[in-house]
Amino acid sequence: MAAFEFWLTDDAGKRLELLDRFAFASYSRVVSGRSTLQIGIPYRDFEKRIKPVFAPDRRIDVWRSPAHGYPLRREGVFLLRKPKIYTRTEDALQIIEFFGRGPVDLLNRRFVVQQPGTTYSEKTAAIDDMMKEIVREQMLFGYAVDHNGLFDNSRAYPADEFSVQFDVARGPVVSKRFAGRNVLDVLKDLKDLSFQKHEDNPLFNERIYFDVVPLELGGFEIFILDEPTGAIILDERGEGLEDEQSITSRAELGLQFQTFVNLRGQDRTSLFEFSVENGNMIKPFYAVDHFDEVNAVIVRGQGRGESQATAVVEDVVRIGASRWNRCEDMASASYEAEETALEEVGRGELTVGRPREELYVTFLNTPGGLHQPRSLYGVDWDLGDLVRVTYAGIQMEAEIVIVYVSYDENGEEEITGRNDVGEIG
């Protein structure tokens, strides 16, 4: 049986209380998206121990071990944004339910506020570096700028608690404009663009994922030493004088924006197979979804009336799948002026609008046996992994893009995964 811990912390990651008497708890982990958490706790006991009962951006720090003998690992950190108090019908117990989101939500709290035509709102770079430039300029302490392009740390997250991974110049080089747009939306579009270009030329274009991940803040002290004796030089209060290279932080847990190349997790397709016959998955269903298909996109750019720049991008193969199958969509790209840029936006919409193969599976967290392969979540498979799944006579390589974990008040665990199998060729 898996072991787990739900810690309530302050907004800097300092632990306040172990939440070991909850009525229910569930969380999701999402690839390049906003993870979520819900946890319900008996209210009367909780409000006696924690006052106030809620503050925005307090955190739930979730730890889990997949089985006996495996250490706990951090599953995720969730920023609390909403409390709800209600009375449970079956036993009249008052419950306080907390709702939280993963730290990717921080990206959704900023916009590209600078004017069009500036280096902040128009960039040409490798997608990996472009993502990081945007995040630095809109929310990193010491780098954030205001709408006029002047340094403005009031737009930044707390110093030393939010950081950005170093540039690695990965992914295709592109030119994009995004003045006035939400940062998370821009990053998702850049991710989708990297996928589109990878599909066009997989040898030269890498797929780029992104996330905001927890980062332990381990400060260290370097003291100035007396050269003859090697002793620490003390100040007038009798405390050691710190060298300028010393690092200290009041926060216990920081957050860092990171990118990932080609796969968010690991390729595990050669290790084992998920199937009903192997006893390591249940409740599967397989679908091919054409409901939201888009195979023709009309993109409007800058200008008005007859002078407005327009591009039409089509997938003639998919349109020809039936005599009725032309499925149009309109896209606005008023921030783009060049026709090639409009066509690029359209191709991105075509990628998003492809009919999708979907596989929904409840993966079992099992230790395995003589005739059953081991499939421990967090050991053998994880969020972002590419795994091999066989169902309904079809073998697929499935990328696990969402993992749901839930617990009842007895600690019984259920894990489900949603798999992005890919597009129909």
Residue 167 and residue 88 share a domain? no
Please report whether residue 237 resides in a domain: no
Q: How many residues does the chain have?
A: 425
* Same domain as 312, residue 362: no
At 1 the pLDDT is: 53
User: Residue 245 domain-assigned?
Assistant: no
Question: Are 223 and 232 within 8 A, CB to CB?
Answer: yes
225 part of a folded domain: no
Report the first-to-last Cα separation within the chain, whole angstroms: 41
Q: 370 with 387, same domain?
A: yes
β-strands 253-261, 162-164: how paired? parallel
Instruction: Name the CA dihedral angle for 249, 255, 257, 263, rounded to a multiple of 10 degrees.
Output: 130
Q: What is the CATH number of the domain that holds 32?
A: 2.40.10
DSSP-based three-state secondary structure for 357: strand
Find out whether 366 and 375 touch, Cβ atoms under 8 Å: yes
User: Residue 224: inside a domain, yes or no?
Assistant: no
User: Facing residues of 78 across strands?
Assistant: 60
> How many domains are contained in the chain?
4
Give dist(CA 382, CA 143) in Å, integer. 34
Indicate if 202 and 82 belong to the same structural domain. no
Which of 414, 416, 411, 413 has the alpha carbon at shortest distance from 22?
Answer: 411
Q: Are residues 7 and 52 in the same domain?
A: yes
The set of residues, in sequence order, having a beta carbon less than 8 Å from that of 98 and lying 6+ positions away, is 37, 38, 39, 40, 41, 54, 60, 80, 82, 83, 84
**36: helix, coil or strand?**
strand
| Token pair 């798999």 in the structure block, residue | 419
Instruction: Give residue 267's pLDDT.
Output: 96
Residues 96 and 177 in one domain: no
Q: What is the pLDDT of residue 283?
A: 84
**Does 369 reside within a domain?**
yes
Q: Which strands sit side by side in the sheet containing 310-314, from one edge to the other?
A: 310-314, 296-300, 328-332
Q: Report phi then psi at 221, rounded to 5.
A: -115, 135
Per-residue confidence (pLDDT) for residue 365, from 0 to 100: 81
Tokens of 18: 């172990």
Establish whether the linkage from the previous residue to 116 is cis, with ω within 30° of 0. Answer: no
Longest dimension (CA), the chain: 90
Residues 159 and 127 in one domain: yes
The separation between CA 421 and the C-alpha centre of its own chain, rounded to angstroms, equals 19
Please indicate, yes or no, whether residues 302 and 344 belong to a single structural domain of this protein: yes
- Does residue 17 lie in a domain region? yes
Over its length of 425 residues, how does the chain's per-residue pLDDT go in tens digits?
Answer: 568 999 999 999 999 999 999 999 999 999 999 999 999 999 999 999 999 999 999 999 999 998 888 899 999 999 999 999 999 999 999 999 999 999 999 999 999 999 999 999 999 999 999 999 999 999 999 999 999 999 999 999 999 899 999 999 999 999 999 999 999 999 999 999 999 899 888 999 999 999 999 998 765 455 566 666 666 666 666 666 665 544 455 667 899 999 999 999 999 999 889 999 998 888 888 889 999 999 999 999 988 888 888 999 999 999 999 999 999 999 988 877 678 889 988 988 998 899 987 877 777 888 888 888 888 899 999 999 999 999 998 898 888 999 999 999 888 888 877 775 444 33
304: domain range? Answer: 296-352
Regarding whether 389 and 337 lie in a shared domain, the answer is no
Tokens 């951006």 correspond to what residue? 57
Domain edge (last residue) among 101, 136, 170: 101
Structural tokens at position 146: 């205001």
Residues 40 and 181 placed together within one structural domain of the fold: no
| Listed residues 310, 326, 352: the one ending a domain | 352
pTM: 0.81
**Same domain for 198 and 115?**
yes
Helix axes 183-200 and 339-352, enclosed angle (nearest 10): 90
